[in-house]
Amino acid sequence: MERTSAFTVLLFLLLGSSRAAVEEENPEFWRAQAKQTLQSVLDRQLNTNVAKNILFFLGDGMGITTYTAARILKGQLQNQSGEETVMTMDTFPHVGLAKTYSVDFQIADSAATATAYLCGVKTNLNTVGVNAAARNGVCRTQKGNEVTSILKWAKDAGKSVGIVTTTRVQHATPAGSYAHSASRTWYSDADMPDSAIGEGCTDISSQLLKNVDIDVIIGGGRQYMTPRGTKDPEYPADFSSGGKRRDGRHLIQEWQNMKNGKVAHYAWNKTEFDAIDPDTTDYLMALFEPGDLRFDAERDPSMDPSLMETVEKAIRILQKNPKGFFLLVESGRIDQAHHQGNAYLALHEAVAFDGAIARALELTSEDDTLTIATADHSHPLTFNGFPFRGQSILGKSPLWGTDMLPYTTLMYGNGPGHKIVNGKRPDIRNVNTNSMEYIQLSAAPLDSTTHSGEDVVVLARGPMAHLFSGVQEQNYIAHAMGYAACVGADLRHCQGPITSAVDRNSVSPGGNGAAGRSATPISILLASLLGLKILM
């Protein structure tokens, strides 16, 4: 067996040595490339403008392995080798790492992490928009422990705000921007225990309407907004897709009634969505599914818009505000595909996410828009096995195991892909591991792959993007965004002296350069004081 394994290693090394492109065999290729990159870094100037706008892109479950594998897939989808591909996120000049643990667990969930990077406070697993004094599922511990988010700070400062997600709009990540709940799963009142309702806690859907006046709400989650017995407009024959609320409230209609006197549109399909003119729209709620949206690889383009399309519509509505905007964009189904042990779906979601970021950059200016791309946590996805250059990222390693069976380049530490029959792994020599349905092998059996606890990447560009360098606690992100945009408690950035050449020479369209710093509105100062009192 050892002799056979050694021969296999030698063979694949010899084969792999012939895969390099001719120019890559010339050392000058690499020297010239590095020289060009070095010069671009040396020429870089810090942008210390006040951020008029903030675009916050969150790849749920997009750990560094997912990020790297998605880069390769993106290139391979364009008939390239893949490894050398440049993602839009790769072009962000400032990069850091965030530590993702929660107060009570080494490995966190999306609710605890959302509270950290949106509200600036670390908390406990499964709780959202509350500090760590609150306990999971215990309503009475929620009261008095609420914490506000960067979305609310921005709204209080007069900016327009929005959320775009590929999950239900009540899910952990978007909920972190507006809700306060001892349980992330209290999507509607039907999901709450009677004791919690009796103690005065409210469901996340009702808080979506009440807590913050959100200008743009795009995602899924129709069924949590309507009463029991309400048929879903897309799936009227499917009882499980219908309304879930026990209290009889129709929150979509309530939202429409609340916007009296404003141009407010509700859409549940692409035809309605496409007909909405962002130039004349004040408010938009678009809920395309009863629950989470479909995976991008399975999406029906005639019924559901892409993430790129929803992001563009949101930006065009929000950017009409001369004071700027805050937009949270979540690619939430990267995480859900990983939970299924399906790398194909996860990576295609991440590629679509990068495309949406590219479109957002085209619609905004780096002078006045701070753009962040990060993840909330990772997954136990491994990238292994010495695959050849340009080999499919979803393919099999040329180096087989000592049991003389192949394995895929991407595998999971745990999850539904654990299959041991009579003490042996499955033989996948004749299995198409590039298919949408393939579930990667995993080391330990679980119905759903867990999260993992390594640091996640934080990429930034635009005003004060250099604040997002280094290794930081995840809750630091909210405070750095607030400082950059002069929202929330820390207004020093719009009050201090201008010392940077970038500041002296550039004034953004919204007055965020020298002219924009002459005075601080009383409303912002008041919001700051109120926010500080709440956070204390």
The answer for residues whose C-beta is within 8 angstroms of residue 6's C-beta and 6 or more apart is none
Q: In the numeric block, which tokens belong to residue 233?
A: 């407009």
What number of residues does the chain have? 536
Is the CB of residue 284 less than 8 Å from the CB of residue 267?
yes
CA distance 361 to 120: 25
Amino acid identity, position 218 = I
Sign of CA dihedral 412, 414, 418, 424: positive
- In degrees and rounded to multiples of 5, residue 399 shows phi and psi of -95, 110
Contact 376, 57 (CB under 8 A): no
Which residues line the annotated binding site for Mg(2+)? 60, 171, 173, 330
Cα–Cα distance between 146 and 129 in angstroms, integer? 6
Residues placed in the known binding site: 60, 171, 173, 330, 335, 339, 376-377, 451
Q: How far is CA 17 from CA 67, 198, 388, 389, 409, in A?
A: 26, 69, 9, 9, 19
89 secondary structure, DSSP code = G
Both structure tokens of 212:
């913050």
Helix ranges restricted to H, 298-431: 307-318, 333-339, 343-363
Q: Hey, CA dihedral for 307, 310, 316, 319, is it positive or negative?
A: negative
Are 387 and 397 in contact, with CB atoms under 8 Å apart? yes
Enumerate the known binding-site residues for Zn(2+): 60, 335, 339, 376-377, 451
Alpha carbon distance 114, 462 (integer Å): 22
Catalytic residue among 110, 183, 205, 508: 110
Cβ atoms 343, 334 nearer than 8 A = no
Cβ distance 273 to 312 under 8 Å? no
* 331 catalytically annotated: no
**What's at 217, amino acid-wise?**
I
Place of tokens 């965030």: 98
- DSSP one-letter code for 142: T
Written as one string, the DSSP assignment of 155-198 is HHTT-EEEEEEEEETTSHHHHTTT--BS-TT--SGGGS-HHHHH
Alpha-carbon gap, residue 466 to 184, rounded angstroms: 33
Instruction: Select from 222, 224, 180 the least CA-distant residue to 202.
Output: 180
Return the bridge partners of 424, or none.
421
* 64/66 Cα distance (integer angstroms): 5
Q: Chain centroid to CA 300: how far? A: 22
Q: Which residues are catalytic?
A: 110
